Structure 1
Amino acid sequence: MADPGFEAFLWSLTQQESGGNYSAVGPPTPYGRAYGRYQVLAPNVGPWTAKYYGKRLTPQQFLNNKAAQDAVVRGVLGGYYKKYGARGAAAMWYSGQSNPNKTYGNPPVYKYVNSVMARAGSYSGQSTGGGGYTSGGPVKVALDKDELAEQYGLSSALINSSKELKSLFNQAVSGGWSAAKFQAKLKNSKWWKTQSSSLRKYITTKFTDPATHKQKWAQAQYKVNQLAVAVGLGSQIKSGKSSKLLKSAIYNSLALGWSDERIKDWLGTKATLHDGIMWGEAGEAFDKFHELAYLNGMKYSQDWYKKNAVAVVSGKTTLETEEAKIRAQAAARYGAYKDQILAGQNVMDLAAPYIKSLSTLLELPETDVDLFDKHVAKAMTSKPASGTAAGTQMPLWEFENAVRADPLWRKTNNARESMMSVARQVAKDFGLAY
């Protein structure tokens, strides 16, 4: 028997589930209630509306939004239809697997599928209808493992960290356990008995006092997001939703009992560049390193600045430690000034006589001359003449002669005046001056 068209199939399924009623609400189940014309289970409403409607809705919002219901079912069920055909799609919607001949369920999967297929043949373009054979309850749609983990008060990373916990979780997923059943099994496990009191309290509160759990989560969300902003990550809340990073940090705080300092250090490891700059405390360290390196004639890669800024905000090092390293490298480069540099003086200040002289000779603003100018760099790094006192380099007169040999100097007013002065003196010496 050929598959019915998708519209006929979709219409038939709506009759099967709700009689075409957008306001239908299913009875309580281990998976929560099912909502709307297509009977979408509560745990799936949030992620599916976010993906297919572009906005994450609550079950009640979903129930009141026909457009969202249609968008979700066309996205999810449309994908099933393309992949498995009509019979496989009906089986997936009802049981979470695509074999239409399975005999479990009430009614059995195959009877549900046959009923949908039989009714599809009577489709004549109508959008609603009534009556017919129904499933007797909401559709059991396969849930995303991350969503289930969150329902159970765990994180995927935590589940995967223990073979016993992972095995228990997989049993819960395949067996369709309720949260209460999972909690009961969890508390009898060896894993549970070896965990911290903070994790046990977190899981218990999530199950037994969801209102308190929600309140604590909201408080932690605000506090941890402030820490994220402080270290330079920017706000991790977009359109009212927490990023995956923020959710992980909140979980580490509430469930694992991490201190604010540890959370901040952990968030600091995630700091990165934003269009060539860094934000928050990472940005302060990033800028400080740039400034100190420049004032001491040192150059590093952008990755070096980022790596060390991250190391500072993640608690692996301090500004003072990294500044000392920059000064040590500068002292090695500008050996004649080693003691002054290590004592805290910047090389730029030590080079001030050369910078001022070059600025005057080449008629440049002093702010345009730095340690990377070839004349200044040579003067500051040249070896002192034999017998010269420590802390001195090239004599200033020698430096100025080198600058005057630069073709740039010949284009200055200084050069022209100097040459005119020499010419007048020569003329005077020959008795030609007047």
Structure 2
Amino acid sequence: MATVRGEDIVNTARTALGVDYVWGGNSLTSGVDCSGLVQQVYARYGISLPRTTYNQINIGASVSPNKLRPGDLVFFDTDRKKSGPDHVGIYMGGGKFIHAPRPGASVKISSLAEGYYMDRWLGGRRVSGVSADPSSGGGYAEEVAPRLDAHELAETYGMSYAFFKSQPELWKLLNGAVSAQWTPERFQAAVKNTSWWKNNSDSVRQSQVLAKTDPATHKATMEAARVAARQLAVKMGAILSEKNVDQLAKNMVHLNWQEAQVQNYLGAYVKFSSDHVLGGMAGAAAKAIKAEAYRNGVAVTEQSVLNNAQYLVRGLTTMEQVQASIRQQSAGLYPAFAEQIKAGASIQELASPYIQVVAQELGVPDTDVDVYSPKVKAAMTRANAQGQPEAMNLGDFTQMVRNDPAWRKQPGVADKTLNVGRQVLADMGLGF
């Protein structure tokens, strides 16, 4: 078999630069995928290669990264869900390779020093019959590993040169690494040992890098976070200043705050509006708390309602826990009905017979009477002669209501009283 120069393989591959990625594509002009690019380029020189990456990696001999030369194949494991090679390219020399990266992209040149490809490196293969430029002795010279400059070394960690320059500690480390020509592995280990790395979470580091490497994207990300922060504040009933909005957005992006952390932050800013109402989730919670308190005959202050609404938004309590606390207070205020309250009855329901007596005897709508009415509350919180809780029976309660001067002013009450007196005299054998 005639020997093919690796440089010629590379030059042919270059003709496909800019060609669209097409899954299963085999055309160097209208569309290829990664293994199709490799197969078609080698086919131009009469070298038949398998169609898929999984089979191509079995061709030729293994080559270590520092021994690569133009025309060698480089393989990567880009899908961690399954083992084996998922991507292949053609090495060009100088740490670069040409490949068809993914759907939506086109054939391009990338660097083996990029963090993404370095982390996913699987191996290099040298196809039989492909050589580098012959040396003066007739042999084939191995390519000398390229000297990494500051830009390339920075990129081995997926960070830009501009970012390293913005961090004094990392900038000093980068210059020292370039001067001593550290390997990428040694440089990465040194980065992980810096104070910057140790004192910042992964999300903070990523955000800082993005701000310097792609400021437009970082700006758009922050603005989207501000919009989300404002929307969440309205939803939760929190009132935020622009400074608060900026801080929350920063925490969402830089610290990767999850829902619970965002709600906890917003809970601290749940407050009454200028017209003394709560909005959003806090407002709904406040209404539910007030309704539960009314049903159970428990008086709650506005501050108590606000506190509980804040706790609910922050996730420090649940509505079930708030309701249970209100019922417990109700049982303490109305001890004669404690068992019924604990069983789920509301004090307003238990007060219904007393309310009906007041409404009927005094001629008022039953909607104007509730457990807070003095007569009703007195009857339901009464204690017996022994000091034990004992609600007033309805007969005694009716008589107590009739002792109210308002009762005598009701239409027909005088006639009812006279008829009752006559019946009593008749029962005694006396008449008139």
Give the TM-score of the pair, scaled to structure 1: 0.52
What is the identity, as a one-letter code, of the residue corresponding to 2:353? P
The residue aligned with 1:264 is: 263
Distance in 1 of aligned mates of 2:268 and 2:412: 54
How far 1:408 sits from its partner (Å)?
2.2
Distance in 2 of aligned mates of 1:414 and 1:269: 60
* 1:185 corresponds to which of 155, 168, 172: 168
The residue aligned with 2:404 is: 406
The residue aligned with 1:380 is: 380
Distance in 2 of aligned mates of 1:399 and 1:299: 24
What is the identity, as a one-letter code, of the residue corresponding to 1:318? T
What is the identity, as a one-letter code, of the residue corresponding to 2:249? I
How far 1:316 sits from its partner (Å)?
1.0
1:364 alignment partner, SS class: coil
More strand by share: 2
Distance in 1 of aligned mates of 2:404 and 2:394: 16
The residue aligned with 1:351 is: 351
1:284 alignment partner, SS class: helix
The residue aligned with 1:418 is: 416
1:426–1:380 CA distance, 2 compared to 1 (3 A): closer
Partners of 2:332 and 2:338 within 8 A in 1: yes
* 2:393 corresponds to which of 392, 395, 403: 395
Distance in 1 of aligned mates of 2:335 and 2:408: 32
Kindly indicate whether residue 331 of structure 2 is the aligned counterpart of residue 331 of structure 1: yes
Partners of 1:187 and 1:193 within 8 A in 2: no
What is the identity, as a one-letter code, of the residue corresponding to 1:260? E
Partners of 1:186 and 1:192 within 8 A in 2: no
1:417–1:200 CA distance, 2 compared to 1 (3 A): farther
1:245 alignment partner, SS class: helix
Distance in 2 of aligned mates of 1:371 and 1:421: 33
Between structure 1 and structure 2, the one with the greater Rg is 2
Distance in 2 of aligned mates of 1:182 and 1:384: 84
Partners of 2:330 and 2:341 within 8 A in 1: yes
1:32-431 matches, within 5 Å, as 183-185=166-168, 187=170, 190-233=195-238, 243-274=242-273, 275-383=275-383, 393-413=391-411, 415-422=413-420
How far 1:197 sits from its partner (Å)?
1.1
Distance in 2 of aligned mates of 1:283 and 1:414: 48
How far 1:227 sits from its partner (Å)?
1.5
Partners of 2:297 and 2:348 within 8 A in 1: yes
More helix by share: 1
Partners of 1:361 and 1:414 within 8 A in 2: no
How far 1:192 sits from its partner (Å)?
4.6
Deviations 1:51-96 (A, max 9, x none): xxxxxxxxxxxxxxxxxxxxxxxxxxxxxxxxxxxxxxxxxxxxxx
1:208–1:320 CA distance, 2 compared to 1 (3 A): same
Partners of 2:248 and 2:262 within 8 A in 1: yes
Deviations 1:170-218 (A, max 9, x none): xxxxxxxxx9797222646624542101111111211221111122123
1:249–1:182 CA distance, 2 compared to 1 (3 A): farther
1:423–1:339 CA distance, 2 compared to 1 (3 A): closer
Distance in 1 of aligned mates of 2:206 and 2:415: 86
Distance in 2 of aligned mates of 1:207 and 1:408: 82
Partners of 1:296 and 1:347 within 8 A in 2: yes
Distance in 2 of aligned mates of 1:414 and 1:197: 84
How far 1:297 sits from its partner (Å)?
1.1
What is the identity, as a one-letter code, of the residue corresponding to 1:321? Q
Deviations 1:372-401 (A, max 9, x none): 111110111113578x9x9x7211010011
Distance in 1 of aligned mates of 2:165 and 2:238: 36
1:330–1:211 CA distance, 2 compared to 1 (3 A): same
1:408 alignment partner, SS class: helix
Distance in 1 of aligned mates of 2:313 and 2:255: 21
Distance in 2 of aligned mates of 1:399 and 1:426: 22
Distance in 1 of aligned mates of 2:165 and 2:397: 81
1:300–1:412 CA distance, 2 compared to 1 (3 A): same
Partners of 1:297 and 1:371 within 8 A in 2: yes
Gaps of 5+ in 2: 1-161, 172-193
What is the identity, as a one-letter code, of the residue corresponding to 2:227? Y
1:186–1:284 CA distance, 2 compared to 1 (3 A): farther
Deviations 1:277-331 (A, max 9, x none): 2111111221111111111111122111111111111111111111111111111
Partners of 1:359 and 1:365 within 8 A in 2: yes
Partners of 1:336 and 1:384 within 8 A in 2: no
Distance in 1 of aligned mates of 2:285 and 2:231: 18
1:313 alignment partner, SS class: helix
What is the identity, as a one-letter code, of the residue corresponding to 1:243? E
Partners of 1:380 and 1:393 within 8 A in 2: yes
Q: CA RMSD of the aligned region, Å?
A: 2.9
The residue aligned with 2:152 is: none
Distance in 2 of aligned mates of 1:293 and 1:369: 16
How far 1:366 sits from its partner (Å)?
0.9
Gaps of 5+ in 1: 1-178, 237-241
How far 1:405 sits from its partner (Å)?
0.9
Partners of 2:164 and 2:170 within 8 A in 1: no
The residue aligned with 2:51 is: none
Question: Percent of aligned pairs with the same residue?
Answer: 35
What is the identity, as a one-letter code, of the residue corresponding to 2:376? V
Give the TM-score of the pair, scaled to structure 2: 0.52
How far 1:219 sits from its partner (Å)?
2.3
